[in-house]
Structure 1
Amino acid sequence: MLLEQARWFQQIRDDTRFLAMLPMPAMRQALLEMGRRLAAAGVLDTTADVYHLRLDELDRIGTWPPPPELASELRERANRRRARRAALARTPLVPPPPAQPPGRTHAEVLLRGVPGSAGIAKGPVRVVHGSDGFAALRNGDVLVAAYTSPAWTPLFRRAAAIVTDTGGVASHAAIVAREFGIPAVMATADATTRLRDGQEVLVDGDHGLVFRPRH
């Protein structure tokens, strides 16, 4: 009985994520409209600054325009959080693990990470930051991302290999890469900033390394 239930839940794993994400576009549009109005009222510098405010803070706006004291408080919080986010922009999400390149010189090793899926593959880099970049991935590209989720699964059919900033052997990218039989290197910390589109790399999923190909 438990095994049957486990198999059933595995089948609907991606469906639950899809259904949970359905309200997101409407919520995003509502927040952007709030941000647009706050920016027009001089409370925020830009529409996108609304993402630096919490929902409970936005709920405090009971009259329009917001009273001067509340407007000043919201502006100060948004500016402080935006500056904090900018300061952390280049901070790695995880520290890269130590690794020794097997039979390679130090100069050939571009990135060190955690083995996520076995195998070796070579191809041009394609850095994808979100769904707006999905269409740019071509057959044989090395998909480089901060992390992946079920929505990214169709990309694995085109990719020659996967390299991520975060994750481990049980992360979505590693599991799906193994299902598709392509190499994956996880937790490189900064692959999305150190690699560039079109750059040729060799991905070693056995040792968790990304190399500069030998010519």
Structure 2
Amino acid sequence: LDASVIRDDHHFYIDAMLDAKARLFLLKLGDLLVNHHALLVKEDIFFLYLDEVKSLLENPLDMTELIEKRKKEHAAHEQMSNLPRYFGVPEPAHLKEAEKYMGAIEENDDNSEHSIKGLASSSGTYTGKVKVISNTKEFYKLEKGDVLVCKTTTPLWTTLFQTAGAVITDAGGILSHSAIIAREYEIPAVVGTKISTNKLKDGDIVMVDGTNGIVTLLNE
């Protein structure tokens, strides 16, 4: 029986490729709207809603003022750390079920000054130095044996797992990308802590207990 591992590739073809094709199409529309003086540059189309784009194609108007406003809002939103985790008032049972897959909805009541609780996702213990990685531009910071601390990971982050000694994430459950890849690389992982990127900083020394889902801060 012939077989092929396509898990990481499937994310590219199903998730990324659709967006990539749509992006090329939208950039063509952006060029058209630049020619009609509705936009300054074609990439500005990504700061508009679909109904606004449709309206502009029928009746081009100068949207530069609105787009500048949205760019500033976007930059501000990128700096927000306490985004709402859900809307409405879910039942406690629903929250408990969601935590299995999404990680902590609220900070664990058992957390302390030196201890963070999360989901036990890849067994084993490891003690090492923290590196908080916020985005792909910071990949260079991670050195061999560092503890990777991040909000979550995607297939693009897989290369870091051969360098990291352990992994801690804010979001994600036991079936998240972070948890699965950590198990494959046989490094301890505690995921879904909600607060790791806020509480931990570069250079902190932590013990990651992936068997029990506990991160212990060991700084003097």
Same fold (TM over 0.5): yes
Correspondence for 1:139: 144
Q: Give the residue type in structure 1 aligned to 2:82.
A: R
| CA displacement at 1:59 relative to structure 2 | 3.6
Number of residue-to-residue matches in the alignment: 196
Q: 1:54 aligns with which of 46, 49, 58?
A: 49
Is contact 1:124-1:197 (8 Å) kept? yes
Query: Partner letter of residue 108 of structure 1?
Result: H
Report the Cα distance in structure 2 between the residues aligned to 1:214 and 1:198, rounded to whole angstroms. 9
- What corresponds to 2:171 in structure 1? 166
CA distance in 2, matches of 1:99, 1:19: 40
Stretch of structure 1 that moved more, 169-178 or 198-207 = 198-207
- SS of structure 1 residue aligned to 2:129: strand
Structure 1 position 18 matched with structure 2 position 45: no
Deviation string 1:143-164 (CA, Å, 9 cap, x unpaired) is 1111111221111111011111
- The answer to whether the 8 Å contact 1:143/1:160 transfers is yes
The answer to whether the 8 A contact 1:146-1:165 is kept is: yes
Aligned to 1:108: 114
CA distance in 2, matches of 1:92, 1:63: 37
Which residue does the alignment assign to 1:153?
158
Structure 1 range deviating more: 194-203 or 158-167: 194-203
Give secondary structure in 1 for the equivalent of 2:207.
Answer: strand
Aligned-pair distance for 1:87? 9.0
**Aligned residues: CA RMSD:** 4.0
- Matched to 1:60, the amino acid is S
Runs of 4+ off more than 4 Å: 41-44, 47-52, 72-77, 79-84
Following the alignment from structure 1 to structure 2, what is the Cα–Cα distance between the partners of residues 148 and 49?
Answer: 28
Secondary structure at the counterpart of residue 23 of structure 2: helix
- What amino acid is the match of 2:163? R
CA deviation after TM superposition for structure 1 residue 14, in Å: 1.5
5+ unaligned residues in a row in structure 2: which ranges?
86-103
Quote the sequence identity (%). Answer: 34
Distance (Å, rounded) in 2 between the aligned partners of 1:26 and 1:136: 33
